[in-house]
Amino acid sequence: MSRIGVFVCHCGHNIAGTVDVKAVVEQLQRNGDVVFAIDYKYMCSDPGQQLIRESIAKYQLDGVVVAACSPAMHESTFRRTVEIAGLNGYRCESANIREQVSWVHQQDKVAATQKAVEIAESIVEKVKRNEALEPLVLPLTHRTLVIGGGIAGMQAALDIAEAGYPVILIERQDHLGGRMAELSGSYLNFQAAPDLLERKTQQVLTHPNIQTLLNAEVTSLSGYVGNFRVQVKQKADAAESPVMPLDELQPLSFTFDVGAIVVATGWQPYDRARLPEYGGVEIPDVVDGLTFEKMLRQGDGIRRPSDGKLAREVVFVQCAGSRDPEHGVSYCSKVCCMYVAKQAMLYKERVPDGQAYVFYIDIRSAGKNYDEYVQRAMIDYGVLYLRGKVSRIFREGGQTVVWGSDTLTGRAVEIAADLVVLATPMFPSSGSIELGQLLHISTDGYGFFNEAHPKLRPVETLTAGIYLAGVAQGPKDIPESVSQASGAAAKVLQLFSKNEMTASPLVASVIEELCAACGACVKVCPYGARQIHPIWNYATVNAALCQGCGACVVACPNKASQVRNWRVEQVLGMVDKLL
């Protein structure tokens, strides 16, 4: 027999106005496992908590059920209270008779009271079999791995390093800066951009807390939040780069222990061969946006790649492959409306008597001062914006012909262009999907990494301790990439604010005698927390990896797998009490 105490809360009128709390107390007093039951006006108030603590001592309670608000509301409050009285927190639970009873059945007091009784009894049934548990304490390595040395990766590395923690930044190219280093400049503050990037790069390279490895990639990852072990390979020809190899490690293959990982692998241009209606890669005077950035970086005039003649008619095609699930990608690349305006204005500065045309579906210039910027291109620079899609681009007599439509006038448009600039999609960096598999974080159909929650957890992944920054997660411009990088750094610092980690002890365990080593749980576990012990031949649980999801419980044919305090007999017992 258990010695459980039941505390029924009025919550002022919130509960007592609908549920007959005295009747609930009377019913529960008849439960064989309950030695004491009482109601009180506000259980979470100081006197309410006092009542619980005193009753634990007075009646030698070995379990507590508080029939009150949702466990999401005050279960942790009551667990702290019973701990003060010397009872293990996991021997205390809330029975939800407010959110799921009194507030939703205000018209039917009899039924609400009956329901409250049954719910309280079902929780008594559960608490009766709850184990007394302590939070898991896990070590925590205060070092971060940042993958990708673009603007996002550098920002995250600097924020973490400035807070005093060591960072290992790995970049697979032979220089830092990522794609930003290939741009002519950036919209809004065009001239300043190269300087800003140069300064950031120097800060990173000279920071005492940042170890930069160029020409390097991750080759394996094991462990879990706070305790990852990564292996990094560095290309042999990288001897010249500013590397500080750790002496105890073999040359060019390094192993690091890190507590957190930031993934900032960025993007690559979309493969134009997949856009044959825009000439694929066949036509020399059709280039993509990034190539045009490189052209802008060279000298003054803008010249045709085919013959070096000055380009007098330039056509920019927005959404060339974006928002076009049939030929390209379904998503909007987000930055093109802005950089096309930038590129068209720069072109006009280089070739003042040239004509720039922009085909667009609609203009997406949401951002501080962004629309004003596009307006400048239209009004001050005389760039001709044509609303419509380009249907075909082909070569004819030394010219590149663009067929499009202007949906505002309803006319078909044909332009003999010297140069066509396609605003092709920003596509995830090559190897993203493989990197995702290696890190056990998921990617979408294209290879962008998935955030833990699209609205509320945009910089975390579902794997604890791995965070996202920049275009690796989805199309973004520089300010957005930098913001997300600082967000990721803040998450890392939040993790590092403790000396060690505590984790919920509500994890799976295995009844060894029942386990047939069938491996079903190993296969079904989404966190790789299960293994078959090579010598003893039964399943084991890595408590640090286990999230307590319960998938293994259902998968186990022998019911050898159980989650602590969510044991099968507990749930079955609850079903009984509710029927």
Ligand X SMILES: Cc1cc2nc3c(=O)[nH]c(=O)nc-3n(C[C@H](O)[C@H](O)[C@H](O)COP(=O)(O)OP(=O)(O)OC[C@H]3O[C@@H](n4cnc5c(N)ncnc54)[C@H](O)[C@@H]3O)c2cc1C
Q: Which does 572 bind (CB under 5 to 8 A by kind): ligand SF4, ligand X, other proteins, none?
A: other proteins
Contact present, 235 and 440 (Cβ < 8 Å):
no
Tell me the three state secondary structure of residue 416. strand
Binding positions for ligand SF4, 86-115, rule CB under 6 A: 98
Q: Which of 23, 73, 136, 138 binds ligand SF4 (CB under 6 A)?
A: 73
Distance of closest approach, residue 233 Cβ to ligand X, in angstroms: 10
Binding positions for ligand X, 101-130, rule CB under 6 A: none
Q: Which of 90, 316, 331, 527 binds ligand SF4 (CB under 6 A)?
A: 527
Distance of closest approach, residue 553 Cβ to ligand SF4, in angstroms: 7
Does residue number 471 form part of the binding site for ligand X (CB under 6 A)? Answer: yes
Contact present, 181 and 140 (Cβ < 8 Å):
no
Contact present, 557 and 573 (Cβ < 8 Å):
no
Q: Which does 477 bind (CB under 5 to 8 A by kind): ligand SF4, other proteins, ligand X, none?
A: ligand X
Q: Which does 264 bind (CB under 5 to 8 A by kind): ligand SF4, ligand X, other proteins, none?
A: ligand X
User: Of 396 and 513, which has the nearer Cβ to ligand SF4?
Assistant: 513
Binding positions for ligand X, 278-297, rule CB under 6 A: 289-290, 293
Within 328-467, residue ranges assigned H as helices are: 336-350, 370-379, 432-439
Does residue number 263 form part of the binding site for ligand X (CB under 6 A)? Answer: no
Q: Which residues form the interface with other proteins (CB under 8 A)?
A: 70-72, 96, 98-101, 103-108, 111-112, 114-115, 118-119, 122, 442, 462, 506, 524, 526, 547-551, 553-554, 563, 566, 568, 571-572, 574-576, 578-579
Does residue number 519 form part of the binding site for ligand SF4 (CB under 6 A)? Answer: yes
Q: Among residues 374, 344, 339, which one has the least CA distance to residue 358?
A: 344
Does residue number 420 form part of the binding site for ligand X (CB under 6 A)? Answer: no
Distance of closest approach, residue 185 Cβ to ligand X, in angstroms: 7
Does residue number 43 form part of the binding site for ligand SF4 (CB under 6 A)? Answer: yes
Q: Which residues does 317 contact at the CB level (< 8 Å), separation at least 6?
A: 278, 359, 390, 393, 402, 420, 421, 422, 423
Q: Which of 94, 130, 186, 211 binds ligand X (CB under 6 A)?
A: 186
Long-range CB contacts (< 8 A, 24+ apart) of 180-183? 180/150, 180/151, 180/478, 182/290, 182/293, 182/294, 183/293
Determine the Cα–Cα distance for residues 77 and 504; give it in Å rounded to an integer. Answer: 16
Distance of closest approach, residue 30 Cβ to ligand SF4, in angstroms: 23
Determine the Cα–Cα distance for residues 144 and 506; give it in Å rounded to an integer. Answer: 28
Distance of closest approach, residue 404 Cβ to ligand X, in angstroms: 21
Q: Which does 11 bind (CB under 5 to 8 A by kind): ligand SF4, other proteins, ligand X, none?
A: ligand SF4
Q: Which tokens hold the place of 353? A: 């008597």
Determine the Cα–Cα distance for residues 48 and 42; give it in Å rounded to an integer. Answer: 6
Q: Which of 2, 481, 561, 570 binds ligand X (CB under 6 A)?
A: 481
Q: Which does 541 bind (CB under 5 to 8 A by kind): other proteins, ligand X, ligand SF4, none?
A: ligand SF4
Contact present, 470 and 153 (Cβ < 8 Å):
yes
Q: In angstroms, what is the C-alpha Rg of the chain? A: 31
Q: Which residues does 296 contact at the CB level (< 8 Å), separation at least 6?
A: 184, 185, 302, 343, 346, 347, 350
Does residue number 205 form part of the binding site for ligand SF4 (CB under 6 A)? Answer: no
The one segment of 160-168, 260-268, 352-360, 506-514 that binds ligand X by CB under 6 A: 260-268
Within 141-246, residue ranges assigned H as helices are: 151-162, 192-206
Do the strands 253-258 and 227-234 form a parallel or antiparallel pair, or are they unpaired? antiparallel
Does residue number 217 form part of the binding site for ligand X (CB under 6 A)? Answer: yes
Q: Which tokens hold the place of 513? A: 């005698």
Q: Which of 280, 305, 367, 431 binds ligand X (CB under 6 A)?
A: 431
Q: Which does 558 bind (CB under 5 to 8 A by kind): other proteins, ligand X, ligand SF4, none?
A: ligand SF4
Q: Among residues 477, 192, 481, which one has the least CA distance to residue 339?
A: 477
User: Of 38 and 490, which has the nearer Cβ to ligand X?
Assistant: 490
Does residue number 435 form part of the binding site for ligand X (CB under 6 A)? Answer: yes
Determine the Cα–Cα distance for residues 242 and 216; give it in Å rounded to an integer. Answer: 12
Does residue number 116 form part of the binding site for ligand SF4 (CB under 6 A)? Answer: no
Nearest 10 degrees: Cα torsion 457, 463, 464, 469: -50
Determine the Cα–Cα distance for residues 416 and 373; give it in Å rounded to an integer. Answer: 28
Determine the Cα–Cα distance for residues 200 and 158; give it in Å rounded to an integer. Answer: 9
Distance of closest approach, residue 48 Cβ to ligand SF4, in angstroms: 7
Does residue number 117 form part of the binding site for ligand SF4 (CB under 6 A)? Answer: no
SS3 content of the chain, % helix, strand, coil (to 5): 35, 25, 40
Q: For 118, phi and psi rounded to 5 degrees?
A: -65, -40
Q: Which does 108 bind (CB under 5 to 8 A by kind): other proteins, ligand SF4, ligand X, none?
A: other proteins
Does residue number 552 form part of the binding site for ligand SF4 (CB under 6 A)? Answer: yes
Binding residues for ligand SF4, rule: CB under 6 A, are: 9, 11, 14-15, 42-44, 68-69, 73-74, 98, 507-508, 510, 515-521, 524-525, 527, 529-530, 539, 541, 546-552, 555-556, 558, 560-561, 563
| Residues forming the site for ligand X (CB under 6 A) | 147-153, 170-173, 178-180, 183, 186-187, 217, 264-267, 289-290, 293, 335, 339, 342, 426, 429, 431, 435, 470-472, 476-478, 481
